[in-house]
Amino acid sequence: MELVTLEGTIEEVVYSNADTGYTVCKILTPTDIITAVGVMPYAEAGESVRIGGGWENHSSYGRQFRISYFEKQLPQDAAAILKYLASGAVKGIGRVTAERIVDSYGINTFDVIESNPEMLTSVKGISPKKAKAIHENFMEQNGMRSVMMFCGSFFGVSTSMKIYKKYGAATADVIKENPYLLADNIDGIGFRKSDEVAMALGFRHDCRERMVSGIKHVLSTASYQNGHCYLPEDKLVSSAYELLKTSRDALSETVAFMLTVGALIAVDLPEGRAIYLPELADAEDYVAKKLLALYNHPPEYKLKNIDGEIRFLESEFGVEYASRQADAIRSAVNCGLTILTGGPGTGKTTVIKAIISIFQRIGVPFLLAAPTGRAAKRMSEASGCEAATIHRMLEVKYEDGDELQFVRNEDMPLSCGALIVDETSMVDIPLMYSLLRAVPVGTMLILIGDVDQLPPVGPGQALRDIIRSERFNVIKLDKIFRQAEESLIIKNAHAINRGEMPETDERAMDFFFIERRRSDEVRDLICDLVARRLPQTYKISAIDDLQVLTPTRKGILGTVELNKCLQDKLNPYNSVKTEKRFGETVFRTGDKIMQTRNNYDIVWTKGSLEGSGVFNGDIGRIISINPGAETMVMDFDGRIAEYDFQMMEDVEHAYAITVHKSQGSEYPFIVMPIYDAPPMLLTRNLLYTAVTRAQKMVVLTGMKEPLSRMVTNNRITKRYTLLKSLLSGEVARIYPKGSRKL
């Protein structure tokens, strides 16, 4: 699209979305009246504008100008001023009042409103109170224009709107004083962008504001990209030096200053100091204390004849519980805290059903929860009882638009005698903290998960640290039951977990390895398997029943490239399908997509039902795309939701997804490439996690050598956490006095 710049006057605002700034308007240019569409917040008839963008032909609306950027200025001549005021742009001024004001002051109207509003009282119908209100609203509008123009030098329109909504008319002053506050307070602006703004505004590269923000960025990146709860002080200073390229001594002094005011937390360890962001220090400390309190406090409900109850259940269900299954049942219904772990086919679901049955028989109110929507759905289907995501159970809400809060906490705890949480290996420390805040002491808490799977995406490794502390009742199920033994998927999963190569007998029914030597051959085979061979052979849906899993996003066998290839095969372009490009990604009607962040505000309908919430990991399809309204309609297992285009930053194609994103989910068939990659990706627990996602079939394709390295590489990337040590009493945290914010 060729970039074009036009100037003109807004004749009519056809449509405007106050939240997103998306606008459709008619603009009078020197040669024509055009239709312009795009983000142009607070546009009003009568305003003079300079817009940049390009022409496009819309299938329904014809030729229109797509706005990429804009500049606005107040109208200059009396006729344009009248049109502007008569449009309702300034509250308190209608058509008649606008005519009277412009008749009185002509081209000086705006000067009067801005600098001498008392003169407006000479106009019929304007009292001193109304004159003041007109002045204040005009100044607010003018302030918004100034802010949008100032921010437009650094940010796109949508980000500028976020900043304006946060700081209002004071935006420019706030940014000029400390642009690094943007990284703390505005979603989507990180350290690097705020640093770019600061450098443009003349901040020194060694100023304290920059070093404080850089240190926070290093810790935040370590937490939310690498899973650490803290960093050793020397590693923190080294990483900050690599980022900021300023004096190490100055950085050490800045860390000391931040500790003094409570912006960081330090813990003395034998090997040196651990440095935390305050929220993660609080979270780890609280989780340790609350788990110990739950464990040491007997539950209100006590079952005396548990062995008799177990015998009754065996008779009722026609089963015979293994000794460790029986141990898990005894602990779960009698103790304040129980941890149950085990691989596939070891009977975790059987134990959950038994525990639920006992709670129902003796009248213990219980809740079931899991960290993701798909995991909660699986838990509901397996147990026959309703399960919720942890976020929904805690009644999530957003303060100030973006800050996540939970209604359920110490002041409004969960009302239950027992809580069963599945897929606990996925729960990071911040979520575990929020969960435990809502669990009253005296509640029976049962944490269930497979500790051999990948750790959480977020900071910490709660389940692993809880088990390693050896402070609680931990029951590990390791017996594979006869029905499960018939599945090569389950046998191979356990073999992988023991460090043994999986069986890939060509006569197998549900586990295959197809060797290919080159990455492009692997990619082409995967596309053929998914688009043609497997659907034809097994009479399955290529989109609904098949899932490609891969270790990473990058490279020829990463999610980005595989999704392009699979989209071309499974949902190719044709003139009937509408599509929309975001950067390098093209979404089109019929695409398989995944939500990548919990959003509890998205409203959906399912038949006559209405609800809200689409969750991280939910997979759906694009039903329709409306470029004019800038919306898409999605179908998530029958839940129909409308997205505006700004929400698409949390959506990606899901023909291929990372193994990490598959946690908590199961798919009938999985296909996975096996190829040379960095050792951190070729790990046993990544392969084990991938294989255990399959219900009916696993197809691996690639090279045997990387497969062997994955099986033997039992490397678990070190995470800096202290939960294990806190639970065992090996360390105590020291909190300095002072503010927690900087």
408 three-class SS: coil
Q: Which two tokens stand for residue 258?
A: 């931040």
The pLDDT tens digits of the residues spanning 564-588 come to 999 999 999 888 888 898 888 999 9
Contact by Cβ (8 Å): 689, 453: yes
Q: For the residues 540-544, what does the mean pLDDT come to?
A: 94
218: alpha, beta or left, given left = phi > 0 and alpha = psi -120 to 50? alpha
Which amino acid, 413?
P
User: Using alpha carbons only, what angle is made at residue 514 by residues 513 and 516, rounded to the nearest 5 degrees?
Assistant: 130
Range from 135-139, 641-645, 709-713 that averages highest in pLDDT: 709-713
Q: For the residues 361-385, what does the mean pLDDT come to?
A: 90
What's the confidence (pLDDT) of residue 266?
93
Contact by Cβ (8 Å): 383, 353: yes
Distance CA 205, CA 211 (A): 8
* pLDDT over 60 at 739, yes or no: no
* pLDDT over 80 at 741, yes or no: no
Which amino acid, 421?
V
* pLDDT over 70 at 62, yes or no: yes
The pLDDT tens digits of the residues spanning 24-44 come to 999 999 999 999 998 787 788
Q: Which two tokens stand for residue 321?
A: 């519980």
- Which residue(s) pair with 339 in the sheet? 447, 474
What's the confidence (pLDDT) of residue 188?
73
Cβ count near 580 (within 10 Å): 17
Write phi, then psi, for 432 (nearest 5 degrees).
Answer: -60, -40
Per-residue H/E/C for 146-208:
HHHHHHCCCCCHHHHHHHHHHHHHHHHHHHHHCCCHHHHHCCCCCHHHHHHHHHHCCCCCCCH
> Please, which residues have CB within 8 angstroms of residue 660's CB and are 6 or more apart in sequence?
454, 457
Chain position carrying tokens 């605002």: 13
What's the confidence (pLDDT) of residue 646?
74
Which amino acid, 22?
Y
The pLDDT tens digits of the residues spanning 670-706 come to 999 999 988 888 899 999 999 999 999 999 999 999 9
> Please, which residues have CB within 8 angstroms of residue 141's CB and are 6 or more apart in sequence?
42, 89, 90
* pLDDT over 60 at 400, yes or no: no
Q: For the residues 589-605, what does the mean pLDDT come to?
A: 86
Contact by Cβ (8 Å): 724, 696: no
Distance CA 724, CA 288 (A): 8
What's the confidence (pLDDT) of residue 1?
54
What's the confidence (pLDDT) of residue 25?
93
Q: With 0-12 CB in 10 A as exposed, 13-18 as middle and 19+ as buried, what is 15?
A: exposed
Pairing of strands 592-595, 619-626: antiparallel
Least confident of 334-343, 480-489, 595-604: 480-489
Q: For the residues 644-669, what does the mean pLDDT come to?
A: 89
- The pLDDT confidence band at residue 507, using thresholds 50, 70 and 90, is low
Q: Which residue has the higher pLDDT, 603 or 182?
A: 182
In 423-510, the DSSP E strands lie at 444-449, 473-477
7 three-class SS: strand
* pLDDT over 80 at 638, yes or no: yes
Least confident of 19-28, 109-118, 565-574, 588-597: 19-28
Contact by Cβ (8 Å): 205, 213: no
* pLDDT over 70 at 145, yes or no: no
| Cα dist from 158 to 38, 261, 566, 643, 647, whole Å | 11, 34, 32, 16, 12
Contact by Cβ (8 Å): 69, 51: yes
Distance CA 247, CA 253 (A): 10
Least confident of 241-250, 392-401, 723-732: 392-401
Helices (H), 106-153: 109-115, 128-151
How would you label 485-522 residue by residue, b for 16+ Cβ within 10 Å and e otherwise? eebbbbbbbbbbbeeeebebeeebebbbbbebeebeeb
Q: What is the pTM of this model?
A: 0.80
> Please, which residues have CB within 8 angstroms of residue 562's CB and are 6 or more apart in sequence?
523, 526, 527, 548, 550, 655, 656, 673
Range from 130-134, 405-409, 437-441, 716-720 that averages highest in pLDDT: 437-441
Distance CA 639, CA 705 (A): 43
- Which residue(s) pair with 62 in the sheet? 58
The pLDDT tens digits of the residues spanning 284-300 come to 999 999 999 999 988 87
What's the confidence (pLDDT) of residue 576?
84
What's the confidence (pLDDT) of residue 280?
95
The pLDDT tens digits of the residues spanning 176-233 come to 999 999 998 887 788 999 999 999 999 999 999 999 999 999 999 999 889 999 999 9
Q: With 0-12 CB in 10 A as exposed, 13-18 as middle and 19+ as buried, what is 468?
A: middle
